[in-house]
Amino acid sequence: MQEHRTTGQHAAAISNCTVRLLSEYTGRGPTKARTTINADSVMILLSDTLTKGERTLTENGRAERVLQVRHDFQQVMRDELIAIVETETGRKVVAFMSANHIEPDMAAEIFVFEPSPGADDLSLGGHSTGSPGPEG
């Protein structure tokens, strides 16, 4: 991350860029976005994401189709979303996960960073909950 900007400023920039990107792709961006940045990941929670057409489809029993189309959009936007997070944080993203929910109308974009040198690597069996792993 750039030294002269706070984590909150980076989080706000990620939220704003993500809303703008979603608007470019879908014709309407979410009305609320909150980005959380921690040592291992970035999570963006988005609210009020659906277009009028998507709402109409869900009201008429087509929620699964709306979720599939949203998933398709997120996969197409994947590289641009990752670039936003990498640019703002200065960290390499190694995993991206995305999900939508109809009621309430929310979405989550999750980015996992490459481990910093000397940090615990979540993919190598680290446990943050204190529960025993498969070997324990």
Measured CA to CA in angstroms, residue 89 lies from 3, 6, 13, 85, 111 at distances of: 10, 11, 10, 6, 11
The answer to whether position 54 is within a domain reads yes
Q: Tens of pLDDT along 20-72? A: 999 999 999 999 999 999 999 999 999 999 999 999 999 999 999 999 999 99
The answer to whether position 51 is within a domain reads yes
The answer to whether position 107 is within a domain reads yes
The answer to whether position 1 is within a domain reads no
For the entire predicted model, the pTM comes to: 0.83
> In CATH, what number is assigned to the domain containing residue 20?
3.30.980
In the chain, DSSP assigns E strands to 32-37, 41-47, 93-101, 106-113
Q: Which amino acid is at 79?
A: D
The answer to whether position 131 is within a domain reads no
The answer to whether position 125 is within a domain reads no
Domain count, the chain: 1
Measured CA to CA in angstroms, residue 2 lies from 9, 37, 89, 114, 123 at distances of: 10, 14, 8, 18, 27
User: Domain of 104?
Assistant: 7-116
Spacing of C-alpha 107 from chain mean position:
8
The answer to whether position 127 is within a domain reads no
